[in-house]
Chain A
Amino acid sequence: QIQLMQSGAEVRKPGASVKVSCKASGYTFTRHWMHWVRQAPGQGLEWMGVINPIGDRALYGRKFQGRITMTRDTSTSTDYMELSSLRSEDTAIYYCARDSSDSLLGRTFWWFDPWGQGTLVTVSS
């Protein structure tokens, strides 16, 4: 079945960087974009960015531009999200989610499915 398997929990000090991985299986990796979404403790979902199927283009949320990098390794069907200059507010669960889209009646719609299991990143001194 289609699965996204993320790397394990990480602890970092403020100012450091973290790189989270997301390994896909069960579908053709190079046919889908991949999104990254995070959720701070007790808070809602926050979209971070998306990378295109061949990994040569990424769109980042305005809040993260300048300190986020998304990459992908098509040979291993793995996506990576690196966040730098970490601060305590970056403590959150980070999810990858596969993108799909379609159009109907002149409107395009997107959906994220499936999602990875999430990776907890804790930023603490």
Chain B
Amino acid sequence: SSELTQDPAVSVALGQTVRITCQGGSLRNSYATWYRQKPGQAPELVFYGVNNRPSGIPDRFSASTSRDTASLTITGARAEDEADYYCNSRDSSAVQWVFGGGTKVTVL
């Protein structure tokens, strides 16, 4: 399958933990990469590979993969984590990349 499925929206109380999931056949052969996008800004890399965060991304962001599902977890959510989050991987045909539909994270 060339699709990645994400829940459209999720909310989390300030300081609590939220997990964003991404499901698709391509994830059986490749790790998901995660991006966040705040209103009016370009997307920003948040997490890639097994345990890689770009400089500037705090360690409250973590990720995991199991079979065809990837997850991004925010532990101790802060107001500045409110954004749209997208997963991405190379699809099974190996000649296309695909994004999930995005998950809007609201911090209450």
Q: Which residues of A contact B (CB under 8 A)?
A: 35, 37, 44-47, 50, 59, 61-62, 95, 97, 102, 104-105, 107-118
Q: Which residues of A contact B50 (CB under 8 A)?
A: 104-105
Q: Which residues of A contact B98 (CB under 8 A)?
A: 47
| Interface secondary structure of B, over-half rule | strand
Question: How far, in Å, is A22 (CB) from chain B's closest CB?
Answer: 12
Q: Which residues of B contact A (CB under 8 A)?
A: 29-33, 35, 37, 42-45, 48-50, 52, 54, 84, 86, 88-90, 95-102
Once the chains bind, are B49 and A113 in contact (CB under 8 Å)? Answer: no
Docked pose: A104 CA to B101 CA in angstroms: 26
- Shortest 5 CB-CB distances between A and B: which pairs? A111-B48, A109-B31, A113-B45, A44-B102, A45-B99
Docked pose: A35 CA to B54 CA in angstroms: 19
Docked pose: A117 CA to B37 CA in angstroms: 12
